[in-house]
Amino acid sequence: MSKGLGQWKNTLQPAQIADGMNAANDNARRLAEDAEILFNLNRFPSALSLAILSIEESGKISILRELALAQNGNQVKESWKAYRSHTKKNVMWLFPHLASSGANKLEEFKSLFGEKAEHPLLLDNLKQIGFYTDCLGKAHWSIPVEIVDKENTENILNIAKLMCKDTTYSTKEIELWVKHIKPAWKGPMDAMKIALNNWFNEMVKEGIISEGQYSFKDFVD
C-alpha cells in the first residue's frame, strides 16, 4: 500500500463529517445486504460476521458526531481511536433489544457505554468465531460451521438492518449539531439535555427531521 494512503487523524469540516457518515451508512447497508444473501444460502458463519461488520460501520456515525464536537487535540485523537476500534464501533448493537424491552429514556441506555460493558467484546468475539477456526478453552477446536446457527445469525442480521438508516446526512445538520451540542459537550447532563432538545427543535424547524411516533423531548428528559 502506498505511504500516501496513511490514516487521517485530524479535524474535519462539517461537510466532511456528513460525507463520512453517509459513506458509513451506505457501506453498512451493502454489508447487511451481502450478509442477507449469504444467510439465504445457509452460509450462516459468513453471514453472521458480515452482519457484525455492518453494525460496526453503522457505529462510525455516532463517532463522527463526536469528532465534530472535539474541543482539543486529545478529543480528536480519542475520536479517531474509537473510529478504528471494533469494540467502540459496536456498542450500540444492544440498543434495539433494550428498546424492545421497554427502555424509552436516554439515561436507560447509559449502560451501553460503560467502561466495564462486556457486550462490545462479545460481539467482536462472535465475528471472529464466524470467520476463523481457533483453539479455545481446553484445547477445543472452534469451527465456524459447527458453532454458528441460523437463529443467532438471523437475530444479528436483523439488528444490522435496523441500524442502517434510510436517510442522507447533510452539512446543515452537522452545523446545527455543532452549534447546539458543542458548548454543552462533556458538561453536566442537564445542560446536555437542553442542548439536545434545542438541536432537535431547530432540525424540525429547518425541515431536516420530523417528530416520530415518540416525543424526542420525552426521550431525552
Q: Which three cell numbers stand for residue 16?
A: 466532511
- What is the arithmetic mean of pLDDT over 184-206? 95
Number of separate helices (H) and strands (E) present in the chain: 11, 2
Q: Is the pLDDT of residue 197 over 80?
A: yes
Checking if the pLDDT of 47 tops 70, the result is yes
pLDDT at 64: 98
Return the pLDDT at 4.
62
Percent of the chain with pLDDT over 70: 97
Indicate the pTM of the whole model.
0.91
pLDDT of residue 103: 78
**pLDDT 10s digits, 104-127:** 788 888 778 777 788 999 999 999
- What's the pLDDT at 193? 94
Residue given cell 476463523 in the structure block: 132
pLDDT band at 66 (very low <50, low <70, confident <90, very high): very high
The DSSP code for 164 is S
The pLDDT tens digits for 116-169 are 788 999 999 999 999 999 999 999 999 999 999 999 999 999 999 999 999 999
Residue 135, classed as helix, strand or coil, is strand
Helix runs in 70-149, H state only: 73-83, 86-89, 95-100, 119-131, 144-147
Count CB-CB contacts under 10 A for residue 100. Answer: 8
Residue 213: pLDDT band (50, 70, 90) is low
Helix (H/G/I), strand (E/B), else coil: 142 = strand
CA dihedral 152, 156, 159, 165 (to 10 degrees): -150
**Residue 2, pLDDT above cutoff 70:** no
CB 134 within 8 A of CB 126: no
